[in-house]
A = this chain, B = another copy of it.
């Protein structure tokens, strides 16, 4: 598992093959099948292993918003360390021990709220969904330049005339200025989105 994680960290999830992991361990491919039944099992184990890194060391902030923010930020950091995590969470339900501990911790963050359990679960699901979506997009944008050949120049050479044509076509009057000006902007989009969401949730709480 550690070997597989090391490979994935260094070369991406695609480099994790049974033969490769075995080699890294000084063994032959089929040896691994004494410990796992299918490759999927290895991936599940990897996923749950890094899920442990998502757990926040107690104690959580008292304020539920601060607590949720802490957890959400942590998730983003973990994906930054292990970019392949997004591929896993986007393709398999994560119900390993550490994954469940994460849910439990998130529920604990809402202890102070006076709403029923189902509502709490919905709040968490919604925040998690947003986080997942944002992190996937961020991860994609971060990975794109690296994936497309060694040199960014080549990719830019292809992309530029394409975008130039788009702008020139006039079919995208609203999008064009954003492309020309660059959409980079500040990096607080994640925080802003989280706060919008938490604002909306807070406004819907009983007693307000």
Query: A residues engaging B (CB < 8 A)?
Result: 86-87, 90-93, 100-101, 103-104, 107-108, 111, 117-118, 121-122, 125-126, 128-134, 136-137, 140-141, 144, 166, 171-175, 177-178, 181, 183, 185, 189, 192-193, 195-201, 203-204
Q: Which residues of B contact A203 (CB under 8 A)?
A: 199-200, 203
**Cα-based distance from A100 to B172 in the complex (angstroms):** 8
Query: What's the minimum C-beta distance from A26 to chain B, rounded to whole angstroms?
Result: 32
Q: 12 A-B Cβ contacts within 8 A?
A: A86-B90, A87-B91, A103-B172, A104-B173, A104-B175, A118-B185, A130-B193, A132-B133, A132-B136, A133-B136, A196-B197, A197-B197
Query: What's the minimum C-beta distance from A147 to chain B, rounded to whole angstroms?
Result: 9
Query: What's the minimum C-beta distance from A129 to chain B, rounded to whole angstroms?
Result: 3
Query: What's the minimum C-beta distance from A184 to chain B, rounded to whole angstroms?
Result: 10
Pick the contact of A175: B107, B118, B173, B195 (CB < 8 A): B107
CB contact under 8 A between A204 and B193, given known A129-B134, A137-B132: no
**B172, A104: Cβ atoms closer than 8 Å:** yes
